[in-house]
Structures are given as C-alpha cells and as structure tokens.
Chains A and B, each alone.
Chain A
Amino acid sequence: MTRDIAVVAFAQSDIRRTTEESSEVEMLMPVLHDVLHRTGLKTADIGFTCSGSSDYLAGRAFSFTLALDGVGAWPPISESHVEMDGAWALYEAWVKLRTGDADTALVYAYGKSSPGHLRDVLTRQLDPYYVAPLWPDSVALAALQAQALIDAGDTDERELAEIAARSRRAATLNPHAQQRGSHPQGDYVVTPLRHGDCPPIGDGAAAVILAAGDRARELCDRPAWIRGIDHRIEAHSLGVRDLTDSPSTRLAAEKAGAFERPVDTAELHAPFTSQEVVLRKALKLDDSVRVNLSGGALAANPVMAAGLIRIGEAATRVHRGEADRALAHATSGPCLQQNLVAVLEGDPR
C-alpha cells in the first residue's frame, strides 16, 4: 500500500543539564500534551504509538514502561518501543502507517543523562568481547575519528572550532537549546577534541505526530511529507571502517532520495564537530544548504531524543514555510555507527 506520510506536529522540552526534580514521565508529559495540542488530537485518537529511550540511561530494566503512563496506556493501545534514538521509533511508525494499519502515530523519545556518567554509560553499547572491557568512552572514540580526519587533511582544529561557534550562534534563536551563543573551545577533553567540540550533556524529551494522506492535511496547514527515509549501519569493528567517511549515511541518503534534487535545509545529528565534517562529505552538502539552524547536537544533545529532534526541527521549518525540501539525519552508536536519513517536503506554494 502506497500512501504519503507526513510529520504534522513536533514538540520538545527545554534541554537542561539536569531534571532531577522530575521523573522521566514527569519530564515527558508536557511535551506529549504540547504535541497533541498542536493537532487537537487526544491520546485515544492516536492509531499507533512508538517510543525511543534507553535503560542504560535510567539504570533500570524496562524503564520505558513507566513513561508509557504519559500516553494513557490503559485501556490497551497499539504501542511499540525501540531501545534507540526516537528517530528509529519514527521509522517504525512510518512503516506502520505505510501498511495502512493506522492513520496517525505518536512518536516520542526521552533521555535523562544526568543520573549517570554518560561517557561511561555509553561504553556499554560497544563490542563486549574486544572493546567494552577497555571502557573507551564516547569522547575518546569521537577523538580517534577526529584525528583520522585531521591526518587525512579533511579538517583542522580551526575549522572544528568554527563549526562549534556557528552551531551555538545559531542556537541563540532556539529557545530549547542548552548551550547558546559564545562558548569557549576550552581545553582538550581527549585530544584533538576540546570542550567546545563536544556536545553538552543534557536531559530532554521530544515528540512528533505522523499522519497519512488526507488526515495529515486536516491536522496541519503544510504537512512535512516524508519523501524517503532509510537507515543503514557500518561494520561493527571500528578498526575495519574508514572513520573519515560514512558510507552508511550516503547509502541511506541515496535510498531516501536525498540526491534526486537539492535540499535547502539540513538538520544533521553530529554530536561532535568532527562528525559534521564527515556528514557534509557523505551527504554532498555544499554551502547553499542551511545546516543546523537549530544549533544541532552541539547546542543540545539529549541522548535518545536528539535524532528525533533533528527530524522535528526540519519538519517545523517545512510547516512554517521556511523550507521546501529538508534533509534530517540521525545517528546512534560510536563514530556515526548507525545513520538514518529522511527527506521532508512541503507542498508546492
């Protein structure tokens, strides 16, 4: 069954260093109410619900079940969860809508990084035989990639600092961002990455509503139609990969139709400055494309929600008529391990 699916609403929380006064569901619920309010839908009207989050952030098994209270899971609803960024939950919801099983979907994602030590927590997603026992943290792995780029002549520290500054300057217009405006590059965290090259650690939540065909037109003046969406993964071993490239991003973009016509806007999920260099190359983005007008993950990187926020930010620009064809990218895992690309378009004006 072929039918058009669109993002019709997006909401996100303010991303903050800590939200210890709230449980996950308490943090999430205002965002769910906000996104439903934008469409006039009630939870009972939603055909399918899908979420993304991680037990390792919460330090507790099946942690997503408590957050489920926030969507009114009784009486039973049609629901699913991915232990990944919410962008992958959106992919699952998109598939569900494509099958015709539902006309609307609520996708949400949340992450509270503040209770644990995020750099250590993320080591638990690594190969448990050869890599995880060494506890290489997320910044260290990104730094290996950054050094490979510098050695290859693809970038230098000055360019990385410019990416950091441009992102946080853009974030001054984003009321939800955590780091806005001027921010010193600071000392090395793990050479060659300085503080400014790394994303802030923060808590936050985001939600999106998808709708199919005419239902989308009823719910939104200018739906952001998903023209293509695809996700791909790199080889598991870091030492097998060429860290200066992202063939999985390029392939996902190709399958999503990103190269068929130019995009005017791109939201890239690049938590580290060096990763934007890789993604721009893989996605063949030139200076005519407005990249990360939201500030991107360097301004706010709530783990598990930051990828969904990229899709939401891109869609919002289509809704407002500020973009006609936007690319949204999400990543998961070390050194751009897994990559998702969506192409969003507004109706011709």
Chain B
Amino acid sequence: MLKAPLVVEFPFTRSLGPVQSAFLTGLRERTVLGVRTTDGRVLVPPVEYDPVTAEELRDLVEVAPTGTVTTWAHNPAPRRDQPLATPFAWALIRLDGADTALLHAVDADTVHTGMRVRIRWADDREGAITDIACFEPYDGPAPELTGHSGEFADPVTGIVAPARLDYTYSPGRAQTAYITALSQQRTVGERCPRCRKVYVPPRGACPTCGVATAEQVEVGPHGTVTTFCVVNIKAKNLDIEVPYVYGHIALDGADLALHGRIAGIPYDQVRMGLRVEPVWTEGARYPDHYRPTGEPDADYDTYKELL
C-alpha cells in the first residue's frame, strides 16, 4: 500500500476588531486589557460581544499581569509549537481585576488551583497571544496599574497565525493500484460490476451506482480528445510556454475522460476527436503530455457520451 508524508501549511492572516486589536497591542506594550460588560464584569481575554447577552462590548479596562490559577493540567511531554519545550502546566488564570480566565502555560513543576502567578513576557513582542511567553509562580503583591485607556499610537490590526499539520497520506487500495501501474507506464481503471463502466482513475466506487468497484481493466494507451481549452496565461512556477492546450482525453476502453496537456501539434490545430497517446519522460510517474498518434480523427458518436 502506498504511503507518503503530506504536510499542510498555511499562514492564516486575520484581521482584528477594535477589542482584539487593543488586547494584542497591549500585550506588545506589556499591558493587559479586558473588556467590561454592562453588568460590570471584566472579561479577559476580551471579546467584542457579551457571551451571555450578545451586547456589543467596547469598554476596555486594564487588569494586572498577576493572577490566580483556577484550574490546571500538568503536561509532561510538550508537543511541537506549544509555549514551552520543557514540562509545564496548562492553566486557566484569572488575572487580578478580571472575572474570567485566560488559557496559557505555567512554567512550574508543581501547580495547584489557587496558585499565584504572573506573566513572563516574551523578549520579542509583536501583538499576539504568544507575547506572553508563559506564566511563572509569583507570591508578591499585584503591581500598580497605569490606568491605560486602551488607545495606542500604533495598534496592531491583524495577526498571522501559521499552522502546520503533518500527515501520512495513503490513497487506499484502488488509487494505489492506479499509481503503481502508472509507474510501469500503464493506466488501469476499474469496472463497475453493475453498470459495467470503466472508471479511470479508479477510486474504488462507482459514483453512479454507489457500489464498490474491484475489477481492474487496463485502458489506453491511445485515446481521443473529447474537449479542450487553450491556456494563454503562464502559471507561476510552471515551465511551459503559453499558449498551450489542456484537454480531456478518453483513453481507449475508459468510460471517463481524464485530463492532460496536449502537445506535439500547434495549439490552434488541436480539435475534438483528435487521437493522442501519452508521452513519458525519463523517470516520470505520470505522462508529461499527450501527442497526436497520426490516426484519423475519432467519429463524434464514439465519444459523445464522454464529454
């Protein structure tokens, strides 16, 4: 069974509303802000709408960088991208002056509910929750607040949240057979036991009948262009001169057209019904393109069901 590593990475760029902007800008400036609800509670981290009444909240209020653990969980084996690389505790922390708790890490071997902690700021701060490197045990008094209004000269208006997930991808039985055959420069499809159609590439199911397909059928190598388009815009990182032709090709014996580039013929001479064959380059795992075979064009009736 084929398997391969698959990494999905994306830098999510997100805009901040006025409340989130103030909170994250505050972290950059070592100031923690909450938001006051109309019934007087202070939510930290702040949200733009009251979680109970859904009222819009904009009344920013400074709270202390010190607080109390309300619940915790010791993490003996930190995972990639978590705040600390050595064993630490996750905790919900109610900062002094707040009525709700913030999730973060506490750098301590032993933590208990009710424990006093304070923020350890990251050296490089940019306006993100990770500007709080972690919390650390602290038994001194809460520092005096500056009474910050939440107005900043140069507020952050967005964050970039990078994410990376690692997978081991396996295409399953049918697609493994297809890819393995391609490596021998053969194309195999699967026949539906009910409607008898041959699907290529096979996915293990007939999408019309909803039944499993299993009978392997070799198709091609020759095929017929059923439809095509001329591409006039060069794609980034693509080493093919424009204009070029991209087409649907019904391989002989297949009941579904697959797609590929058509070359070896001027782009303005490609036509429906053109007979083509795959061209393999050295060591390639799939055909580089399809080129004309020189046979007479296929009759429309032979491929009209495959458009």
Contact = CB atoms under 8 A, between A and B. Distances in A.
Chain B associates with chain A: yes
A130 B129 contact: yes
Nearest to A188: B76
Given A22-B172, A115-B6, A144 B1 contact: no
22 contacts: A23-B173, A25-B204, A26-B173, A29-B204, A59-B6, A59-B169, A69-B203, A72-B210, A74-B207, A115-B169, A119-B79, A121-B165, A129-B159, A130-B102, A133-B161, A136-B82, A147-B72, A147-B113, A148-B71, A191-B75, A237-B43, A237-B100
B306 interface: no
Nearest to B6: A59
Given A69-B210, A237-B100, A115 B92 contact: no
B174 interface: yes
Interface in B198-217: 203-212
Contacts of B16: 129
Interface residues of B, number: 65
Nearest to B208: A74
Closest 5 CB pairs of A and B: A23-B172, A72-B210, A239-B101, A143-B73, A235-B51
Given A144-B91, A190-B90, A239-B70, 19 more contacts: A21-B170, A23-B175, A23-B204, A25-B203, A26-B174, A70-B205, A72-B208, A72-B209, A72-B210, A120-B165, A124-B165, A129-B16, A129-B129, A136-B82, A188-B74, A191-B76, A239-B94, A239-B100, A243-B71
Given A26-B204, A120-B80, A143 B90 contact: yes
Interface residues of A, number: 62
Contacts of A140: 73, 75, 90
A20 B208 CA distance: 25
A158 interface: no
B240 interface: no
Interface of A: 20-26, 29-30, 32-33, 43, 56, 59, 66, 68-75, 114-117, 119-121, 124, 128-137, 140-141, 143-148, 151, 188, 190-193, 235-240, 243
B90 to A, nearest CB: 5
B80 A135 contact: yes
Contacts, number: 190
Contacts of A129: 14, 16, 20, 24, 129, 159, 161
B81 A135 contact: yes
A26 B163 CA distance: 29
Which interface residue of B71, B167, B175, B206 has the most chain A CB atoms within 10 A? B71
Interface of B: 1, 3, 6, 8, 12, 14, 16, 20, 24, 43-45, 47, 51-52, 70-76, 79-83, 90-92, 94, 100-105, 113, 128-130, 159, 161, 163, 165-175, 203-212
B74 A190 contact: yes
Given A115-B169, A129-B129, A135 B174 contact: no
A117 to B, nearest CB: 7
Nearest to A126: B103
Nearest to A116: B167
A135 B6 CA distance: 20
Contacts of A121: 165
Which interface residue of B45, B105, B128, B174 has the most chain A CB atoms within 10 A? B45
B212 A26 contact: yes
B166 A25 contact: no
A239 B92 contact: yes
A21 B129 CA distance: 41
Nearest to A70: B205
A211 B96 CA distance: 55
Contacts of A146: 73
A137 B210 contact: no
Given A116-B165, A134-B82, A238 B203 contact: no
A59 B170 CA distance: 11
A145 B74 CA distance: 12
B47 A237 contact: yes
B73 to A, nearest CB: 3
A147 B175 contact: no
Contact of A191 (B74, B79, B103): B74
A128 B167 contact: no
Given A140-B73, A148-B71, A239-B101, A21 B168 contact: no
A114 B170 CA distance: 10
Given A151-B71, A192-B73, A68 B207 contact: yes
A140 B84 CA distance: 14
Contacts of B52: 235
Which interface residue of A26, A116, A124 has the most chain B CB atoms within 10 A? A26
